[in-house]
Amino acid sequence: MSLAYLRGVCRHYRMGNSVVRALDGIDLDIETGEYWAIQGRSGSGKSTLLNLLGCLDRPTAGTYVLDGVDVSALSDDALSHVRSRSIGFIFQSFNLIPQLTVEENIEVPLFYQGVAPPESRRRARELAARVGLTERLHHRPTELSGGQQQRVAIARALVNDPAIVLADEATGNLDSATENEILAVMDQLHGMGKTIILVTHNAALTRHAEKVMVLADGRIESLRTRAEADAAGEEVP
Amino acid sequence: MNLFWILRTIRLGMKNLLLHKLRSVLNMLGILFGVGSVIAMLAIGEGAKWEAQEMVKRLGPTTIILYSQKPVEVDESTTSTSRMVEYGLTFLDMDRIAETLPAVKVVVPVRKVSKEIWMRGVKYEANLFGTIPRYANVTNAQAVEGRWLASLDFEHSRPVCVLTYEMARQLFPIRSALGETVQFGDAVFTVVGVLERRRGGSSKGKSSADEPMGAYTPLSALRERFGDINIRQTPGSTDISRVEVHEAQIKAREIDDVIAVARNIRTMLEKTHEQGDYSVFVPLEELRLAEATARIWTIVLACVAGISLLVGGIGVMNVMLATVTERTREVGIRRALGATQQHILSQFLVESLVLTLAGGILGVAFGYLLPEVVKFFTDVKARTPLYALFLAPGISLLVGLLSGLYPAWKAAGMDPVEALRHE
């Protein structure tokens, strides 16, 4: 059975009298340990899809089953619970909490899981070490470079040992050197068996993914494996 | 939600408040003044009542004290000449009160003679009070040495006296005063008893029983030896006055009678003493008066406290609304990382509670000092009741809860997706 699957998922917004179909009938099967890239122009619906996959939002129609649970009809509290246990978010603008230190930022998801401080601190340090930030545990986000901030965000996304890591334009705010660095971390995570979904408008970033899905106008335009995509010569050098 | 979660949330709240120190401090001021006023209100209200209650306890709730008073007009006309002035309460007044008012239990007249005493070459100013044996019951006078005046002393006009504790210590610092003689003017009295030391009371309701340098003798003996005319010589003038009764201690039968008895006595004396050469002091009335004063203070300060707390609360709400808007993105991040609506609600609520509680604790200090300042500049009595120190932080927490609830609820109700998109 798939780790997650979507069947006929729609997300429609009402804007005055008209209905915006941000997502319109998405079917998707994600297996454990897969590395996905979701590509599309802005307005194609990729952020909406990511929000749905991350249980931040609910579909207006269709089903989304994550880890055997139909999350499309869960209450707000239950969704929070699912996010806390099963989802790791990495955002374009890092989204660290400025008044907290690196260590505290990494601990936030554990805090909401009710993990006791000694244990959560231990895990935060472990994760910080994994992304090479042991020296920076007590720094504030503003004292770090963009790449370092994003590594904190990655550590935070992993600290609750999530089923899926969702990265939304994770390298959008970084220079190309740092971008590669972050992508290398992603590859590393993939190597460890994490399920990763990378959302980007930049086709170049999809080269690390096993499966590349292109969204347009809320529908799946194409869905190919890496090999297929390479064969089609879609990659931008 | 467990203890560590709460502690962490409190720590987080404090951290966030410290991020905007000035804003937080300004906000706390409103709560500080509000809570301070609450404590000051309770302290001043309590203080006014306490003083009167102590006085009533000391004098007895059924007591009415009459004093003879030199009328003002008479005082002015005798500045240079020596002329005898006659004023004050009379033995006839005493009889009238005792016989016509059934609610009066006892009337104890006191006549005062001020004399110099020479003891081992040292001059002392002392008052000799002539009274009846029942004086001791009325004023709760207790002999620590020897005995109080007896009926026989009175009947036989015996030249005996009972000294106050202070006077006995002054005149006879080493040996016992019992059996010793004390010469007041020309008359010699034998000491038969020494009273216990009296607690110093307030300035109000002072009577012959509060005189430190005092001696008590049978009224009959006093009148026999000094007559009813007092002569007081001062350089340049001689005061001659005729006062029969300087003071009268009256007891009503029941507390409920006191006010009516006092009214009847006033009516009675108004008719016979047109020059107003007396005054009536009713401890119970004073208590009522003090209670009324306390009520006024309470109302005034309650208004101040209420307004301060309201304004403070609005301030806190305002700042929390600003904080919530400012930190919309943080709310989004926290929601994305697994925070429930309840988590967000409690986070912001705790923050406003920490803010108001800090204001409340400072307010306790302020409220404790404020009555001291008021006491220093006015004669208002203040006494901070212990419960006020616990009540005040409670009030500040309530304000924090009321003013923090809406902003926190607003934060909790945010759509996570929208909140994350917020710049």
If contacts are CB pairs under 8 Å, which of residues 14-53 in chain B contact chain A?
Answer: 15-16, 19
A-chain residue closest to B333, CA distance: A95
Are B219 and B271 in a shared domain? yes
Residue A233 has pLDDT above 70, yes or no: no
**What is the distance, to the nearest Å, from the Cα of residue A124 to the centroid of all Cα atoms in its chain?**
19
pLDDT band of residue B77 (cuts 50, 70, 90) is low
What is the per-residue pLDDT for B141?
A: 84
Question: In this structure, are residues B41 and B298 in contact, taking their beta carbons and an 8 Å threshold?
Answer: yes
Q: For residue A57, with 0-12 CB atoms within 10 Å meaning exposed, 13-18 middle and 19 or more buried, which class applies?
A: buried
Q: Is residue B247 within a helix (H) or strand (E), and if so which, with residue range? A: strand B247-252
Are B215 and B102 in a shared domain? yes
Are B234 and B270 in a shared domain? yes
Residue A187 domain-assigned? Answer: yes
List pLDDT tens digits, range B297-343: 788 878 888 888 898 899 899 999 999 999 999 999 999 999 999 99
Tokens representing A156? 């935070």
Are B90 and B234 in a shared domain? yes
What is the per-residue pLDDT for A1?
A: 63
Are B103 and B31 in a shared domain? no
Residue B63 domain-assigned? Answer: no
What is the per-residue pLDDT for A236?
A: 46
Question: In this structure, are residues B399 and B356 in contact, taking their beta carbons and an 8 Å threshold?
Answer: yes
pLDDT band of residue A180 (cuts 50, 70, 90) is confident
- Which of chain B's residues have a Cβ under 8 Å away from the Cβ of A84? 337-339
In this prediction, residues A127-152 reach a mean pLDDT of 91
Order of strands across the sheet that contains A87-90: A87-90, A164-168, A195-200, A35-40, A211-216, A219-225
CA distance B205 to B247: 12
Ramachandran assignment for A202, one of left (phi > 0), alpha (psi -120 to 50 degrees), beta (any other) = beta
The segment with the largest mean pLDDT, out of A100-114, A169-183, B281-295, is: A100-114
Q: Which residue has the higher pLDDT, B30 or A8?
A: A8
In this prediction, residues B28-54 reach a mean pLDDT of 84
Of B4, B333, B342, the CB nearest to A95: B333
Are B242 and B385 in a shared domain? no
Are B325 and B269 in a shared domain? no
Residue B212 domain-assigned? Answer: yes
Residue A12 domain-assigned? Answer: no
Residue A177 has pLDDT above 80, yes or no: yes
Are B356 and B319 in a shared domain? yes
CA distance A85 to A69: 13
Buried b (16+ CB within 10 A) or exposed e, B327-347: bbbbbbbbbbbbbbbebbbbb
Are B192 and B146 in a shared domain? yes
Upper half-sphere CA count for residue B136 (Cβ side, 13 Å): 21
DSSP classification of residue B245 = B
Q: Which residue has the higher pLDDT, B203 or A180?
A: A180
- Which of chain B's residues have a Cβ under 8 Å away from the Cβ of A81? 338, 340
DSSP classification of residue A192 = T
**What is the distance, to the nearest Å, from the Cα of residue A159 to the centroid of all Cα atoms in its chain?**
14
In this prediction, residues B180-206 reach a mean pLDDT of 82
Question: In this structure, are residues B194 and B143 in contact, taking their beta carbons and an 8 Å threshold?
Answer: yes
Residue A204 domain-assigned? Answer: yes
Domain that holds residue B406: 3-55+289-421
B-chain residue closest to A111, CA distance: B5
Residue B61 domain-assigned? Answer: no
Other Cβ atoms closer than 10 A to B86? 14
Residues written for chain B: 423
Select from B224, B250, B276 the last residue of a domain: B276
What is the per-residue pLDDT for B226?
A: 87
Select from B229, B246, B276 the last residue of a domain: B276
What is the per-residue pLDDT for B49?
A: 81
In this prediction, residues B2-31 reach a mean pLDDT of 85
Tokens representing B200? 């110093």
What is the per-residue pLDDT for A32?
A: 92
In this prediction, residues B233-255 reach a mean pLDDT of 85
Of B16, B332, B334, the CB nearest to A108: B334
CA angle A156, A158, A161 (to 5 degrees): 135
List pLDDT tens digits, range B89-104: 999 999 999 999 999 9
What is the per-residue pLDDT for B353?
A: 92
Residue A229 has pLDDT above 80, yes or no: no
Residue A234 has pLDDT above 60, yes or no: no
β-sheet bridge partners, residue B209: none
B-chain residue closest to A54, CA distance: B336
Residue B60 domain-assigned? Answer: no
Residue A66 domain-assigned? Answer: no
What is the per-residue pLDDT for B302?
A: 83
CA distances from B50 to A27, A39, A176, B370 (A): 81, 80, 79, 18
Which amino acid makes up residue A37?
Answer: A
Other Cβ atoms closer than 10 A to A216? 15
What is the per-residue pLDDT for B111?
A: 92
Are B201 and B85 in a shared domain? yes
Are B361 and B242 in a shared domain? no
The distance between the two most distant Cα atoms of chain A, rounded to a whole number of Å, is 55
What is the per-residue pLDDT for B204?
A: 66
List pLDDT tens digits, range B278-291: 999 998 888 888 88
A-chain residue closest to B417, CA distance: A56
Question: In this structure, are residues A134 and A119 in contact, taking their beta carbons and an 8 Å threshold?
Answer: no
Residue A130 domain-assigned? Answer: yes
Residues written for chain A: 237
Question: In this structure, are residues B412 and B342 in contact, taking their beta carbons and an 8 Å threshold?
Answer: yes
Q: What residues contact residue A18 under an 8 Å CB cut-off, 6+ apart?
A: none
Select from B276, B301, B331 the last residue of a domain: B276
Residue B407 has pLDDT above 80, yes or no: yes
Phi, psi of B230 (to 5 degrees): -105, 130
Residue B118 has pLDDT above 60, yes or no: yes
Antiparallel, parallel or unpaired: β B187-195 and B160-163: parallel
Domain that holds residue A179: 33-58+73-232
Residue A152 has pLDDT above 90, yes or no: yes
Are B312 and B220 in a shared domain? no
In this prediction, residues B226-251 reach a mean pLDDT of 82
What is the per-residue pLDDT for B300?
A: 84
What is the per-residue pLDDT for B334?
A: 95
Question: In this structure, are residues A88 and A197 in contact, taking their beta carbons and an 8 Å threshold?
Answer: no
CATH code of the domain in which A211 resides: 3.40.50.300
In this prediction, residues B42-49 reach a mean pLDDT of 82
Residue B82 has pLDDT above 60, yes or no: no
Residue A7 domain-assigned? Answer: no
Residue B414 has pLDDT above 90, yes or no: yes
Total of domains in chain A: 1
DSSP classification of residue A216 = E
Residue B302 domain-assigned? Answer: yes
CA distance B245 to A220: 114
Residues of A with CB under 8 A from a CB of B: 51, 54, 56-57, 76-77, 80-81, 83-85, 87, 89, 91, 95-97, 99, 108-109, 111-114, 116-117, 156, 160
Total of domains in chain B: 2
